[in-house]
Structure 1
Amino acid sequence: MTIVLSGQDGVVEQARRQLEDLVPVWAVLDYTQAPLVQRELLLAKINILGPEYFEELLAHHREITAEVDTEFGDHGLEHSAVADFHPSKLVLSQALRLKHEHLKSITYFAHQFGGKVLDISTNNCIVELSAKPSRIDSFMKLVSPFGILESTRTGLMALPRSPLFDSNQDELKEADEIVDASSLPPG
């Protein structure tokens, strides 16, 4: 099992000691100075109906429709413009085209970030993305206007990179030089 800790050296050292004291733990290896491959997995259910429907769902879910009506009471022109643009006033073929464009955009963004669309339904799609945490954050910000209905992330996973050796390289490190034998289990 790989556990990623980030913090002050004293806190990390204390956590390492506490992990070593656990009975089922065989070894605790510190990869602080080692080059790592870090990834996180995201599954996100994204609305393909468009931001207008998503905002309507949020308003209904929070039960604040009365507050929205009083807010638009002061701005009658804005309310009528929003009501005229709402997709429910569109012809069905136009609404279908908009939904297709939204899905096409979400699919494009997912492919640009190295992800893929796993499932498509009439109102939403599920996207899978495995990347560095900063890339996942960027993807979430990019698709948030469509409406993220649900999302789940695994948390950071990491493994140390393996060294590369040339065929001409005579000096290979022995296993004892790479891993401290005192940190491994007996036997």
Structure 2
Amino acid sequence: MRRIIVLDLINSSGVLNRITGMLSKRNFNIHSITGGPSESGTTKMTVVVDIPKSLGAEQLTKQLNKLIDVLKVTDITEESFVERELGMFKVNVSRIERSEIEAIVRPFRARVLDISTDSMIIEVTGVPSKIDAFFDLIKPYGIEAESRTGITAFTRG
């Protein structure tokens, strides 16, 4: 069962290691993990994790709350939320294919970050399914490199 967990943490050395260590010890598969410091001196982290059917989401939140440096744990899976992911793709393109790629970029509201004689670097943001759809369309052109950030999420309202 896929769960989206948002953590508020004390911004200290080793906090990411403690979070991932606890998750791996209990056999939770991490799909994505994103985080960064905020102005208040804390760190906001979004973790997307698969929970085995034998364990409930409540068990996960209780375990995370026990960790040092964890201020708040919120499972937003059942709530109304907004999620985004960033994907960057380096695509092999000839000059002839550039206009075809640009025609794909436009409807996805993606951005071309760099163009060289034989490649383009493209940035696309949105829900994971949008990133997947974009990837499927540009894959035939030859993807030299790709990178995805993972999900960041907030509850609505």
Is this contact kept in 2: 1:4–1:158, CA < 8 A?
no
Question: What does the per-residue CA deviation read over 1:108-133, in whole Å, with 9 as the maximum and x for residues that have no partner?
Answer: 21121121101001110000000111
Partner of 2:80: 35
User: What SS class does the counterpart of residue 106 from structure 1 fall into?
Assistant: helix
Structure-2 separation of matches of 1:37 and 1:9: 28
Give the counterpart letter for 1:19 in structure 2. L
Equivalent position to 1:4, from 48, 64, 67:
48
Amino acid at match of 1:124: S
For the pair 1:147 / 2:142, whether they are aligned, the reply is yes
Q: Distance in 2 between matches of 1:38 and 1:6?
A: 17
| Alpha-carbon offset, residue 6 of structure 1 | 4.4
Q: Which residue of 2 aligns with 1:132?
A: 127
> Which SS does the other structure have where 2:137 is aligned?
helix
TM-score (normalizing by structure 2): 0.66
Identity of aligned residues (%): 38
Q: How many residues align?
A: 112
Contact 2:46-2:151 within 8 A present in 1 as well: no
Name whichever structure is richer in helix by fraction.
1
Unpaired segments ≥5 residues, structure 2: 1-44
The structure with higher relative contact order (CA 8 Å, sep 6+) is 1
State the 1:13 CA deviation: 2.5
Q: Which residue of 2 aligns with 1:17?
A: 62
1:11 offset after TM fit, Å?
A: 4.2
| SS of alignment partner, residue 5 of structure 1 | strand
Question: What displacement does 1:25 show?
Answer: 0.5
**Cα distance in 2, alignment partners of residues 145 and 160 from structure 1:** 36
* 1:61 corresponds to: none
| Amino acid in the other structure paired with 2:47 | I
1:31 and 1:9, CA in 2 relative to 1: closer, same or farther beyond 3 A?
A: farther
SS of equivalent residue, structure 2 residue 71: coil
Supply the distance in 2 between the matched residues of 1:136 and 1:153 (Cα, whole angstroms). Answer: 9
SS across alignment from 2:76: coil
Taking the aligned partners of 2:153 and 2:50, their CA distance within structure 1 comes to: 12
- Conserved 8 A contact 2:82-2:156: yes
Question: What is residue 90 of structure 1 aligned with on the other side?
Answer: none
Task: Give the distance between the partners of 2:63 and 2:100, measured in 1 at CA.
Answer: 48
CA positional deviation for 1:9: 8.1
Match for residue 47 of structure 1? 92
* Structure with the greater alpha carbon radius of gyration: 1
Indicate conservation of the 8 Å contact 1:4/1:157, yes or no: no
The alpha-carbon distance between structure 1 residues 140 and 25, as it changes in their structure 2 partners (threshold 3 A), is same
Q: CA deviation at 1:21?
A: 1.0
Q: Aligned AA for 1:2?
A: T
Considering only aligned residues, what root-mean-square deviation do their CA atoms show, in Å?
1.6
SS in 1 for 2:62: helix
Query: 1:73 — aligned with what?
Result: none
Q: Distance in 2 between matches of 1:116 and 1:9?
A: 43
